[in-house]
Chains A and B, each alone.
Chain A
Amino acid sequence: MSDEIVLKITNVSKSFGAIQALRGVDFELRHGEVHAIAGENGAGKSTLMNIIDGILRPDSGEIILNGQPVEITSPARAQELGIGFVHQEIALCPDVTVAENIFMAEINKSRKWLMSYPDLFARARVALSQLSPIDPAVLVKTLSISNQQLVEIAKALTLDCRILILDEPTAALTEREARVLFGIMRQLAARGISIIYISHRLVEIFDNCDRVSIFRDGRRVATAEVASVTPDYIVNNMVGRVIGKLYPPKQSEAERLPGALLEVRNLTDGRRFRDVSFALKRGEILGLAGLIGAGRSEIVKGICGLHEGTSGEITLDGKRFPIRSYRDSIDDGVVYLSEDRKGDGVFLDLSIAANVAAIDLRQVSTPWGTIDSEKEAEQANRFGDRLGLKRGSIRDPVSSLSGGNQQKVAIAKMLSVNPRVIFLDEPTRGVDVGAKAEIHRILRDLARSGVGIVVVSSELPELIGLCDRVLVVREGEISGTLEGDALTEENIMRLASFTERAGPPSPGSPSETLH
């Protein structure tokens, strides 16, 4: 490592509509260093990386590569400039061979008429040799996720890059594979390649990186030599934020009701989660925290009958609540709001009224089994008013609404059946601040009326501001419960991200309850 700066970013800003993703960020990458990037989901890490890779263009600011100001207009341009990006989600073509995937960019540019497979396989074997003995002639879809990840890395390495961005590369790797990867990272750095390494696992940062930059709310709040700081320093900088009065008041002591509304015991699907047990009290908002991929969504879907292979004991209001189809779950008053609003939360092409009515058509039916459009409009307007839905006509398609209002339609759809328990998966993702506060108020009002609410969220301030109690999920198991003064971002991060590879900084069993 030398002090020579290969990449210098000055005063870069980027906003998406009303959301300011990056606010005047400065960043420097040295020659041959492994530079960790830490920050919560939504802190601006991905936005910055996407700007460096040319996927996004900054609104303002400058990028200087090897002393020259550059415009990175596309990922292809980034490749030409020697920037490689291994994305967290695997972006390979599953139906072609490993070798063809590795050399995709080259084949795309090639002027030859015919493919030379022996040559391609031989070179792929060389590229893979330092990583893993993967057969270059097999189809990518036959590989395990971790091997696919290694193919991604091999692909980036063959591009002769000077800067390599790795976005949570170990998320899908086993520990042994991760160690191999860290060895390779070290070798690459020794060869003068600069690596930007994004990870939620603090252990990995301390074991393998030279410097760390910490992002929060679209700003770079600190950069330090890893050797000179402690894990607490990183966590404090990641979360050190004052939560405004955006959140409605929590459940008071007097409002607490005895007894569990929903009790879950030993919920297991055999793949993504196991032995999940918790109780949801009446009128409570319970948070489900954890890293992306920890199994939070699968757990709540499992309870509602939307995740195959789930088994376990559930009681609702003291009565057995068997896991069946989602239809049965709805009829018992247990509903689920999907995290992917546009993909499966609403029907974008259909009218607001048709969306609200979808979950229980009997309510808007005549005795003869036809839709009563008066009733349908009345229902949609009633919930629209209750949720403060801004709308032109109730017959307009949902696609005409803003993100926050689309989400209100999705919530109205669930409320139409007078649910007893509501599971919400990332209810405010992609929703602007104002609508977000309104959704939080709606949820608190529902809880006050006795509904049990479970919120899955990747946004720590939301969990802390909104929820009465938070369960933390780590790798498919509940690693702890937090409430009261113990409900802090530091504690959530600690329970969510420390793995057995290194013990947490404070003593404690793998599962703990803090008050």
Chain B
Amino acid sequence: MSDAAHQVRDEPVARTARPGSPLGRLVRERETGLVLIILLLFVVMSFASPYFLTWENMRAMTMAFAVEGIVVVGMTILLISGGIDLSVGSVVAFAMVLAGWLFLQGVDPWLASALAIIASAGIGAAMGLCVTRIGLHHFIVSLAFMVIARGACLLFTGGRPLGLFTLPPAFKFIGQGSIGVIPFVIIIFVVFVVVFDFLLRRSTAFRKIFYTGSNEKAAAYSGIRTKRVIFFTTTLCSTLAGFAGIIYMARFGSAQPTFGIGMELNVIAAAVIGGASLSGGQGTIFGAILGAVLLSVVSSSLALLDVSVYWQDIIRGSILLAAVSFDHYLHRHKAR
């Protein structure tokens, strides 16, 4: 080895030394902070309201975000890949209405649901093609499909909810049944979260999503087919939204063409509060779900405290702003 090369080795390990202990990492993780905030809210609220820490309220709170949580899973994965999807609320309604309409035409409800989920995946695939083939931005494409899918819902139903009273009990069980004391919806939700959180942390295929979102060009220069990755995440997000639509249908026993308006903003807010970055490359399912839990706990708390619904929106918006500002602050200080 040459002298120059040798010199370099004797230099101090510049800027690489950081606390790397497991505990240090845990403290820095976004999830830890969220868990602490949620726990704090629980403690405060159980003193503030006798109704908060009751089985009924816990169940209601969990039900409130469980189905939407499935959409959060898809959105988080899409955000990590660098995309965004404004159409999820419309696609939820679209799947619900399409399955309901097919059922009313005499199609078996399971088959109708499968077809509706496939159609939702088709919407995602169409958006994915617009982004990867034409080169349009996710924001614009999904804005267009948000309006298109909503229009399709109204077209199918004439603007009126479809009553689906004749759904077989086995189907209704998806949305209304319980196993023991635990609602089946929550079991489905937990399965989705665990599976996708695991895949995102450990799966080789899902790792490519992080590479693509972190630096699309560097990913392409590493031989990753970034367009396929983006196509996949876009399609997956819509598919999960379609799946959520079916669960809602089973839960309500009806299909409502105006359901899910504004859902996309809640879902994106949850993911971002949970640490997903709008510029891609960062985020976890677990964190995003904690974001959804936080929003749900706050809503429930404010309702129990008799705070006006209008104030609730203002407070939720402020939480989002605080979370994003916090991230920005962290990043600025990390970068030297």
Q: Mark A residues whose CB is within 8 Å of B.
A: 245-246, 248, 306, 325-327, 329-331, 336, 338, 343-350, 354, 357-362, 364-365, 369-371, 388, 390-393, 395-396, 399-402, 404-405, 413, 432-438, 441
Contact = CB atoms under 8 A, between A and B. Distances in A.
Given A392-B13, A400-B16, A441 B5 contact: yes
B4 A434 contact: yes
Interface residues of B, number: 38
A349 B210 CA distance: 10
Contacts, number: 128
B2 A325 contact: no
A336 B220 CA distance: 11
Contact of B211 (A245, A345, A347): A347
Interface string B212-241: 001101111111110000000000000000
A371 B5 contact: no
Contacts of B16: 390-393, 396, 400-401, 405
B204 to A, nearest CB: 4
A343 B217 contact: yes
Contacts of B211: 347, 350, 354, 358
Contacts of A401: 15-16
Contact of B281 (A349, A393, A399): A349
Contacts of A326: 220-221, 223
B210 A350 contact: yes
Nearest to A336: B221
Contacts of B214: 347-350
B203 interface: yes
B14 interface: yes
A365 B217 contact: no
A388 B9 CA distance: 8
B197 to A, nearest CB: 13
B11 interface: yes
Given A345-B221, A349-B281, A392-B18, A248 B8 contact: no
B17 interface: yes
Interface string B1-30: 110110111010111111010000000000
B181 interface: no
21 contacts: A306-B220, A343-B218, A345-B221, A347-B218, A347-B219, A347-B281, A350-B211, A350-B214, A358-B218, A361-B204, A362-B204, A365-B204, A369-B203, A369-B204, A390-B8, A393-B16, A396-B20, A399-B334, A399-B335, A405-B16, A435-B8
B332 interface: no
Contacts of A344: 215, 217-218, 220-221
Contacts of B8: 388, 390, 404, 432, 434-435, 438
A244 to B, nearest CB: 9
A391 B13 contact: yes
A326 B205 CA distance: 18
Given A347-B218, A402-B15, A354 B210 contact: yes
A359 B222 contact: yes
Nearest to A352: B16
Nearest to B203: A370
A245 B5 CA distance: 12
A362 B203 CA distance: 11
A492 B15 CA distance: 39
B59 to A, nearest CB: 34
B18 A400 contact: yes
Contacts of A325: 223, 225
Contact of B207 (A371, A388, A434, A438): A371
A359 B223 contact: yes
Interface of B: 1-2, 4-5, 7-9, 11, 13-18, 20, 202-205, 207-208, 210-211, 214-215, 217-225, 281-282, 334-335
A358 B215 CA distance: 12
Given A344-B221, A345-B218, A370-B204, 18 more contacts: A245-B2, A326-B220, A347-B214, A348-B214, A350-B211, A350-B214, A354-B211, A361-B207, A370-B202, A388-B5, A396-B20, A399-B334, A401-B15, A402-B14, A405-B16, A434-B8, A437-B4, A438-B4
A332 to B, nearest CB: 11
Contact of A349 (B7, B13, B217, B282): B282
A261 to B, nearest CB: 20
A346 B204 contact: no
B20 A438 contact: no
B162 to A, nearest CB: 41
Contact of B223 (A248, A327, A364, A433): A327
A361 B208 contact: yes
A135 to B, nearest CB: 29
A350 to B, nearest CB: 5
A288 to B, nearest CB: 18
Contacts of A438: 1, 4-5, 8
A436 B8 CA distance: 10
A174 B210 CA distance: 44
A192 to B, nearest CB: 45
Nearest to B9: A388
A332 B54 CA distance: 63
A355 B20 CA distance: 18
A338 B204 contact: no
B1 A441 contact: yes
B8 to A, nearest CB: 4
A2 to B, nearest CB: 48
A390 B13 CA distance: 6
A344 B218 CA distance: 4
A350 B209 CA distance: 12
B327 to A, nearest CB: 13
Given A349-B214, A441-B2, A327 B225 contact: yes
Contacts of A350: 210-211, 214, 281
Nearest to A360: B223
Nearest to A402: B14
A390 B11 CA distance: 9
Contacts of A330: 223
A437 B2 contact: yes
A148 to B, nearest CB: 24
B245 to A, nearest CB: 29
Contact of A392 (B20, B222, B281): B20
Given A362-B204, A391-B16, A248 B218 contact: no
A348 B218 CA distance: 10
B195 to A, nearest CB: 12
* Interface-central residue, A245, A343, A434, by most chain B CB under 10 Å: A434
Contacts of A365: 204
A336 B11 CA distance: 29
Contacts of A370: 202-204
